[in-house]
Structure 1
Amino acid sequence: MPASKKEAKEFVKRWKKRLGAIPAGSNNEQQDTQKFWVDLLINVLGIPSNTIDSFVDFERKVRGRRIDVFVSDHNFLCEQKSWGIDLDKPEPRNGGMETPLQQAMWYARHLPYSERPRWVMTCNFGTFRLYDLDNERPEDTVQEFSLEELPDSLYLLSFLTSNETSRLHKEQQLSIEAGAYVSRLYDALAKQYHHIEEKDERAQEEQRSLNVLITRIIFLLYAEDADLLQSHQAFGRYCEGDPAKLHRKLVDLFEAIDTPLDKRDEYMDEDLAAFPYVNGGLFADSSIIVPQMTPEILEAITDASQDFDWREISGVIFGGVFEGTLNPETRHAGGMHYTSVENIERCLRPLFLDELWDELHEAEGERTAAKRKQALARLHDKVASITIGDPACGSGNFLTEAYRQLRTIENRIIEDELSEETGNAGQTSLVIAQDSPVRVSLDQLYGIEINDFAVSVAKTALWITEEQMLRKTQEIYVGYDFDFLPLRSLSNLHEGNALKTDWSEVFPDDLTYLVGNPPFLGARNQSKEQKAELLEVFDGAKNAGNIDYCGAWYMKAARFTQGKRTRCALVSTNSICQGEQVANLWKPLHDMGIHIDFAHNTFRWDNEAADKAHVFCVIVGFSREAGNKTLFYHATPDSDEDRIAVPRLNAYLKNAPDAFIWNRSKPLSDVPAIGIGSQPIDGGNYLFTPEEKAAFLSKEPAAEKYFHKWLGSQEFIRGIERWCLWLGEASWADLKGLPCCRERIENVRNYRLSSSRKQTLKAAERPNHFGTEIIPNSTAIIVPKVSSERRRYIPMGFVGSETLCSDLVFLIPNATLYHFGVLQSQLHNAWMRTVAGRLKSDYRYSGGIVYNNFVWPEPSEEQRNEVERCAQAVLDARDAQEGATLADMYDPKNETFFPELMAAHKALDAAVEAAYGVDFGGDEEKIVAHLFNLYAEKVGEL
């Protein structure tokens, strides 16, 4: 949210009250500094609370001293003093006397040059002084304001929330612009291919040629902006002229730049000879089809050359832009979705990046030069030895971002090491390089990818990122000259099917980290070939066929890491940690010694691609080493995450025992059996809206006794009126005078006979009955199969035998008010939220997983009576709300309008907790852990 003047006024009130009770100079500076700035950043400036740890550094070490407040991404540091301390008064520091501003400027000088701040502040809680170091004499242009003046001075702090200084924001903007150029060029070229819209081998070859051609063109556009060619805009100028000649010019150019200089025709045109040798395989394939060019194509190339600077495009975004050029059908069949930088970092940060940055800050913070030098050397050795593999690397997003991060850290180390040698922090550009300081290389990266074009894009993205990072090294280490061309072959990127490839033949034995984003394909969406691959990976294990396709990567990773210390992190569909899949996938992994180290629970997928993937994901980090656990908790799929340290993390991503919930045909506890409603299989002949029912009865009034209310999930929750015509008990004598009813029966018979399904054909023998007919002869509890994840409780209720229900609900016949009370409580809903499957993000209730595995309490008679009393109060509170549907009453946005119902639920929750002999006060984490313990005891897993 943006900075808020209203919140600023509240902030001023809070802190004036707090500081007014403290004598000047006597407050706890360190403790109050953090509270003060966290309050200011979150509540006033609108920094999301879940990002505050990565946004601001408190007590950042610099050569044995500590910066009070440091925001690297926004070039800001603050020297904070105690309440009432004179900001002009010198203090003993560093063997001398320094004012707060002099202290702040010492930090600014001794930070690595890449992190030098633009904005410096001194503050004593009551007064803020802001200095802009871009000014020649910042002390002459200082902006000063008091705590009381903060609401009217917020504009001075706008740089702390500006997207303009955010790397990610800039890259996203560049991706939008780059995508427009790529799309325009792609569309113009595609028109020139004759068979690309057909579905044969010629179309496939033309599509492949188009993909390769556009990759080459964009690489050359990048190369001319990055000064890798003979001159700026060399490629764009080469293409100028007659569009009819451009076809030949491109073919000749591709051949020339794939030929080493000493093997070229010495008489070739000067325009061609001027281009460098590129290599790397990007231009090696001479079999691609280059179509005839048009003025539209030439204009697209010229505009992309002249109007856009490709030099700063992110390698990650390059991959995403190009992945968007793949045929949409190919993308869907392969389950490919471009991963955003934010989501990549959700994997990489807890896997290893946070640890490396912490080590870098610790090394930079060592007090003595000798210790700093030793710590930096150890860290340099470490980053140069890390190896990373991606067994579903696609266009290289994960590998590219990982490499960029490793090289960013290495450049900081190089900068620190140079400043130690020169004794002149921030002046490393004076050093003349002799040998290359760069030790992190592309050889540390490994990948497997089935799509040949994606492999080509991944290599190109990595080459671009390598050049960018070498350029940054050159800025630090002036005189260090690197020959980027010709490109290396990047043989560590392997083209092949990851599920049929022996990973030990691609990845080194000492692989440090394995990351990636395997294809998102549920069990129902897999092709026969993919299903066969999955079963082969799981050795044909029972129930393996209902595991998501990405689950095969987990099993392959588990086998690959046997006997290794490799740590893994994969982005996956959230279904692998929900419902029946959990036991089928994770129990074998658990038995193999796999531990979950960290995880993001369900969040909505977001990416930079044009056709965004509307899926819900989890990220799971795992290894064979038991250690500290971290859960990144998303309260809803669209919310930011909160980071929680937990002692254990099971396959349901809960702080609970490693128990596995198998699909069970009967309840573990002594409770009524659960079943489903009926499935008409009627072609719509037996189901009626109120209007359709009235029209039918106007023709045949005597049929009214055969109409029954009809409930499915939506009818029950949203109060939708629907009716069914059930003729199962009607005799010929009854039907003889009901021609409309007989017509419906005949229609149903014909509908079923038209099916190829054996069960449906069998049902045609009794067309007056539903295809699957389950009609309890008693009152039953109705449970919707699917319900919104926003609801705290799945709405349940009672139905009599006169109401017929569809197979979109579960029915529990012979259930009592007590059973309703327990099922409608927070305890059962917490269990459901943990173990149920999902439809997108909505709860998908299950008899075999949720209900039958739920361990019921063993209450005293008094406790049972109390549950029943509270359950009746819930029903009474509902009945009192005339005109409100269950959807209205259980929508969290409407809770304030139904206080009696919410109070009744709160009392019921407490009564059910008491029946279990616990008092958790509604703490869902404790509830889930307790229920898992009861389950594990019940099935003998403790």
Structure 2
Amino acid sequence: MSATADAKEFVRRWKGILSAVPEGKNNEQQDTAKFWQDLLVNVLGVPSSSVATFVDFERKVRGRRIDVFVSDHHFLCEQKSVGVDLDKPEPRQGRMETPYQQAIWYAQHLPYSERPRWLMTCNFETFRLYDLDEERPEDGMQEFTLDELPDYVHMLSFLTSKETSRLHKEQQLSIEAGGYVSKLYDALSKQYHHIDGDDETAREEQRSLNVLITRIIFMLYAEDADLLQSHSAFGDFCRRDPHKLRGRLMELFRVIDTPVTERDEYMDGELAAFPYVNGGLFSDSSIVIPQMTDEIAQAIVDASEGFMWRDISGVIFGGVFEGTLNPETRHAGGMHYTSVENIERCLKPLFLDELWDELHRAEGERSNAKRKQMLNALHDKIASITIGDPACGSGNFLTEAYRQLRTIENRIIEDENGDQTVLSLDNPIRVSLDQLCGIEINDFAVAVAKTALWITEEQMLRKTQEILPTYSFDFLPLRNLSNIREGNALTTDWSEVFPSDLTYLVGNPPFLGARNQTKEQKAELLSVFDGAKNAGNIDYCGAWYMKAARFTQGKRTRCALVSTNSICQGEQVANLWKPLVDLGIHIDFAHTTFRWDNEAADKAHVFCIIVGFSREVSKKRLYMHESPDAPEDLRFPKNINAYLADAPDAFVWNRSTPICNVPKIGIGNKPIDGGFYLFSDDEMVDFLKAEPGAKQYFHKWIGAREFLHGESRWCLYLGNATFSDLKALPRCRERIESVREYRLASKSSPTRKLAETPARFHVENMPKGNSIVFPRHSSERRKYLPLGFIGPDILCGDANTMLPDATIYHFGVLHSQFHNAWIRTVAGRLKSDYRYSGGVVYNNFVWPEPTDAQRGEIERCAQAVLDARAAQEGATLSDMYDPNNETFFPDLMRAHRELDAAVEVAYGVDFDGDEERIVAHLFNLYAEKTAN
């Protein structure tokens, strides 16, 4: 439905709820939460799984509580009970305030970084919206009633618009910062003499360039964050005499890496003014610093004057810097910069949702003593959490985890001390960067990760200072982050990096499929799996799962990894997950396939999943994505198996024969002919004009495009032609010779071997009866994988799967929701498209055992599907099975629903098309079939 239609339903629902409440008797606090959650989720489209962290109810500020607060979108609402006059003052802290004045008080007393733009006052029946960006917000106030909400719902779009969120602004800043980084990178790289080479010197120069840029950007950040002696100290330093800047920078780096007490007391005053930084960022004196130019100096000055670096997100910082890496290097390592939204998809169900729930429960406690006790317990908890990332890249996951922990800690500090002057000398900050550990193979990424963490630490200290302005915090000198380790995670002993009582393990291991791995990576993978024979076809990230499973033995560590979706699809599932389950691992939560967009300049569009797993018993959460771009729908299944289905743990192995008594399946014909045997309509006509005797050797050709889109092609098959037949067909002989030459030129020895029989195909599948044909790859958008019949006169190409000697009954069951649900669950994928295979999908599908009457009904319904298709002249299978076109084919959709119902009856169940129950039932049948 549209937002307007959803709003009308919301109005109808809440008018009924409010009319049933006696006047003056509604529970303002409880009804406020229900009312706004309903509005946010069911009208404005906030995912139900995110609403708990999206909106704060009863947010405490200086001893008072905001009714509704959406920090990320700069909004707060002062909610009143039904019937309360929104213009009438009420006593608040010794004075009379209207609801609007109360909202203004909250806005003024929130930490500066959280102050809202939009205020609202509401009494369930009337909404008043104020924009604090206006000079006189009261004059621009917008008012509407509950009845009028459908006409005004667009005015609340800022609550869910990405453009109004703090995160969006941080992303925009990161893009702007990326421009300065890129300009600086280009100017500096020109001055390196050997950087374009492929030897050790070139690699050292590339590393030096990356480290140099990291140092420069940190100094730009430091001056904007008021960590240096003046706001433009570094920019001013670089502005003077560019041609001497190389030596000046080398001297500056030595100075800021030297404690003040150990410096030359007679050094230049400008240098002496710079603080001691430490942290290891400036300690490597071996890096190559090239000669500086006017262009380089100007790039630094422009970055200093043109951008406020203190506002950049430490989480996004990594993506900006990763953009300076050589693209080939990034591809080879399988690295993809991670957006904050996707990081939170991993961290929220792992531990953040639980922590925020605990904070909200503590803040909602009315007893001061009990609230203080709960807040202290939560503070103890977050201060003891340890988090490890064994593929930490530029530190995105660790940085966001730290930012969230410190945000919760700042809330605790605010709850406990925000309305009073702090006299205690004890440091209220207990969450530390020491709680974070990482392993990363790229040395530059390690430097970036550390820098991102330092930046985030400084930003969170600043937010603490907003809460406690009288308290003094020292950021410099930096501490060495030795817990972020350079190394190969697959050859490193994790127990040497992560504490034995590690709380959480998170990460985004490299996205490399089995075919894209180098020899070294394949060897690492096999080593992790102890050389298991089936491990070679597992994606590279699977090695991190096995390492995690072994590392967590005897521990309560909970894990969550972002992965290519193929590890939970097709034949990889059994090969990877059976050993994990044998080690005691089970899945706690998961996101099914979604599109993994990122914020880097060259966005990596990857289809991935998130899997949370441990040895602990926990409440299961399954975030279902109907399509890769759809929002998640949170479910609470009894179990999540390795196919990310609410079904028993069962493993579908690649099987050579069907598990039931049904025809064997195969692929279509595979010519390996260089295209010499395939013709368009016009090409065939021209060929036959010149050589009419070849007509008997032409057959209609059905590849995937021809099958789905109704295109026409022909195949010249000469495998059964004798020499005497071919004597009179010189053009056919030319084609045979062209195929022979094509095969001989191949780098593949099996293909060269095929040159001995050039008239025949590599794979020949030409049954004498009717066959069912369906494409081997099909869009995930289709509810039904299109199937069709072909006769023996048509040749099927290998882009299709074919079932020879098939009947209308086989067609009916294979075209039903039951079989399509099985496909959606166990089939492999190409990106997000289904990859149908005989060995995994067809041969393991458990067929029904119908009575004669049930079989007859399936056949009748299957024929009705074929008849409904035949009635649609001019429409292709692609047209008819496009979900966007369903309304144009009502008879076909009706025929499919009747077929689904008939097949469901044959299975002896009554699920009314509930796909989750269908999948669970099929897994139960499969488990029974394979029990022995």
1:314-342, Cα deviation, whole Å (9 max, x unpaired): 11111111111111111000000111111
Shift of 1:753: 2.3
Is contact 1:433–1:477 with CA below 8 Å preserved after alignment?
no
Query: In 2 relative to 1, CA 512–279 (structure 1 residues): closer, same or farther, beyond 3 Å?
Result: same
1: CA distance, partners of 2:749 / 2:605: 36
Cα distance, 1:876–1:29 mapped onto 2, change above 3 Å: farther
- The one of 925, 928, 931 aligned to 1:937: 928
What are the within-5 Å matches in structure 2 for residues 4-19 of structure 1? none
Q: Percent identity?
A: 76
Residues 646 and 134 from structure 1, CA distance in 2 versus in 1: closer, same or farther, beyond 3 angstroms? same
TM-score calculated relative to the size of structure 2: 0.94
Q: Which runs of 5 or more structure 1 residues have no equivalent in the other structure?
A: 420-424
Task: Tell me which moved more, 563-572 or 766-775.
Answer: 766-775
State the partner residue of 2:869: 878
Give the secondary-structure state (helix, strand or coil) at the position aligned to 2:427.
coil
Question: Distance between the aligned counterparts of 2:892 and 2:585, measured in 1?
Answer: 45
Q: Secondary structure at the match of 2:358?
A: helix
Partner of 1:464 in structure 2? 455
Aligned runs of 1:851-866 on 2, under 5 Å? Answer: 851-866=842-857
Give, in whole Å, the separation in 2 of the partners of 1:379 and 1:666.
56
Equivalent residues in 2 for 1:300-449, closer than 5 Å: 300-419=299-418, 425=419, 428=420, 430-432=421-423, 434-449=425-440
Relative distance call for 1:19 and 1:373 in structure 2 (3 A) is closer
Give, in whole Å, the separation in 1 of the partners of 2:304 and 2:263: 27
* Partner Cα distance (1:255, 1:68) in 2: 53
Which of the residues 603, 606, 610 maps onto 1:615?
606
Asked whether the 8 Å contact 2:53–2:353 carries over to 1, the reply is: no
Query: Per-residue deviation at 1:858?
Result: 0.3
- 1:706 aligns to 2:706 (yes or no): no
In structure 2, the residue matched to 1:536 is: 527
Superposition deviation, residue 112 in structure 1: 8.5
Task: State which drifts further: 776-785 or 392-401.
Answer: 776-785
Q: How much has 1:917 moved relative to structure 2?
A: 0.7
For residues 50-449 of structure 1, the aligned pairs below 5 Å read 51-57=50-56, 69-78=68-77, 80=79, 83-84=82-83, 121-129=120-128, 144-150=143-149, 157=156, 160-161=159-160, 166-419=165-418, 425=419, 428=420, 430-432=421-423, 434-449=425-440
Q: In 2, Cα distance between the equivalents of 1:39 and 1:140?
A: 30
CA distance in 1, matches of 2:364, 2:642: 39
Do the aligned residues in 1 keep the contact of 2:809 with 2:855 (CA within 8 Å)?
yes
SS in 2 for 1:509: coil
Look up the equivalent residue of 1:565 and give its one-letter code.
Answer: R
Structure 1 residue corresponding to 2:665, chosen from 674, 680, 684: 674
Moved more, 849-858 or 676-685: 676-685
C-alpha contact 2:59 2:363 (8 A) present in aligned 1: no
1:120-150 C-alpha deviation (Å, 9 max, x unpaired): 6443333234578999999999765433554
Cα deviation for residue 19 of structure 1 reads 6.0
1:43 CA drift (Å): 6.0
Give 1:762 shift. 2.7
SS of the equivalent of 2:636 reads strand
In 2, Cα distance between the equivalents of 1:154 and 1:928? Answer: 39
Q: Is the alpha carbon distance of 1:853 and 1:517 closer, same or farther for their aligned partners in structure 2, counting shifts above 3 Å? A: same
Q: TM-score, normalised by structure 1?
A: 0.93
TM superposition shift of 1:85: 5.5
Instruction: Return the alpha-carbon distance in structure 1 between the equivalents of residues 224 and 74 of structure 2.
Output: 28
Partner residue, 2:813: 822
- Cα distance in 2 for partners of 1:370, 1:114 equals 29
Measured in 1, the distance between the counterparts of 2:32 and 2:462 equals 38
Partner of 1:800: 791
Instruction: Name the aligned partner's letter for residue 184 of structure 1.
Output: K
Shift of 1:844: 0.3
Amino acid of the residue matched to residue 323 of structure 1?
E
Equivalent-residue separation in structure 1 for 2:181 and 2:132 (angstroms): 40
What CA distance in whole angstroms lies between the structure 2 residues aligned with 1:378 and 1:117?
30
**Aligned counterpart in structure 1 of residue 512 of structure 2, from 496, 504, 521:** 521
Please give the secondary structure, in 2, of the residue aligned with 1:611: coil
Q: Which SS does the other structure have where 1:878 is aligned?
A: helix
* Worse-superposed segment, 68-77 or 843-852: 68-77
Deviates more, 1:835-844 or 1:672-681: 672-681
- Which residue identity does 2:377 align to in structure 1? R
Match of 2:906 in 1: 915
Change beyond 3 A, Cα 1:379–1:282: same
Which residue identity is paired with 1:267? Y
Distance 2:360 2:15 in 1: 34
Residues 523 and 680 (structure 1 numbering): CA distance in 2 closer, same or farther, change over 3 Å? same
Check conservation: 2:592, 2:644, Cα contact below 8 A: yes
Aligned residue for 1:205, secondary structure, equals helix
Matched to 1:338, the amino acid is Y
CA contact (8 A) 1:114 1:412 kept: no
Q: Structure 1 counterpart of 2:55, which letter? A: V
Q: Distance in 1 between matches of 2:98 and 2:818?
A: 59
Match of 1:629 among 620, 623, 630: 620
CA contact (8 A) 1:61 1:366 kept: no
Deviation at 1:191, TM superposition (A): 1.4
Which residue pairs with 1:725 in the alignment? Answer: 716
Q: What's the counterpart of residue 422 of structure 1?
A: none
Cα distance in structure 1, aligned partners of 2:906 and 2:148: 56
Equivalent residues of 2:72, 2:167 under 8 A apart: no
Structure 2, unaligned runs of 5 or more: none
State which drifts further: 5-14 or 207-216: 5-14
Pick which of 536-545 and 194-203 moved more: 194-203
Shift of 1:98: 10
AA aligned to 2:323 is: G
* Aligned equivalent of 2:474, options 474, 483, 494: 483
Q: Post-superposition shift, 1:515?
A: 0.4
SS at match of 1:798: strand
Alpha-carbon spacing, 1:754–1:115, altered in 2? closer, same or farther (3 Å):
closer
**Pick from 524, 528, 545: which aligns with 2:536?**
545
The answer (yes or no) to whether the contact 2:111–2:467 under 8 Å persists in 1 is: no
TM-aligned CA deviation for residue 11 of structure 1: 5.8
SS of residue in 2 equivalent to 1:810: strand
Deviations 1:57-103 (A, max 9, x none): 45779999987644343454545555545557899999999997799
For the residues of structure 2 that align with 1:216 and 1:111, how far apart are their CA atoms?
34
Matched, 1:602 2:593: yes
Tell me how far apart the structure 1 counterparts of residues 350 and 4 of structure 2 sit (CA, whole Å).
39
User: Retained in 1: the 8 A contact 2:58–2:363?
Assistant: no
Q: How far apart, in 2, do the equivalents of 1:854 and 1:468 lie?
A: 55
Between the aligned partners of 1:27 and 1:134, the Cα distance in structure 2 is 34
Change (3 A) 1:33 1:431: closer
CA contact (8 A) 2:503 2:556 kept: yes
Distance 1:478 1:62, change over 3 A: closer
One-letter amino acid of the structure 1 residue matched with residue 707 of structure 2: F
Change (3 A) 1:673 1:866: same
Q: Does 1:658 align with 2:649?
A: yes
Aligned letter for 2:655?
R
State the one-letter code of the partner of 1:208: R
**Residue identity in the other structure for 2:704:** S
Deviation of residue 40 (structure 1)? 4.0
In 1, distance between residues paired with 2:682 and 2:414? 78
In structure 2, C-alpha distance between the alignment counterparts of 1:298 and 1:93, rounded to whole Å: 57
- Offset at 1:260? 2.5
Aligned equivalents of 1:148, 1:517: Cα separation in 2: 47
Structure 1: distance between partners of 2:810 and 2:707 = 19
Please report how far the alpha carbon of residue 244 of structure 1 lies from its aligned counterpart in structure 2 after TM superposition: 1.7
Counterpart pick for 2:829 among 838, 842, 855:
838
- 1: distance between equivalents of 2:80 and 2:170? 37
RMSD across aligned C-alpha pairs, in angstroms?
Answer: 3.1
Distance 1:413 1:69, change over 3 A: closer
Query: Equivalents in 1 of 2:8, 2:623: separation in Å?
Result: 32
* Deviation of the 1:863 alpha carbon: 0.2
> In structure 2, what residue type is equivalent to 1:703?
A
Q: Which residue of 1 aligns with 2:767?
A: 776
Cα distance between partner residues in 1 of 2:49 and 2:619: 20
* Cα distance in 1 for residues equivalent to 2:927 and 2:94: 63
Shift of 1:243: 2.3
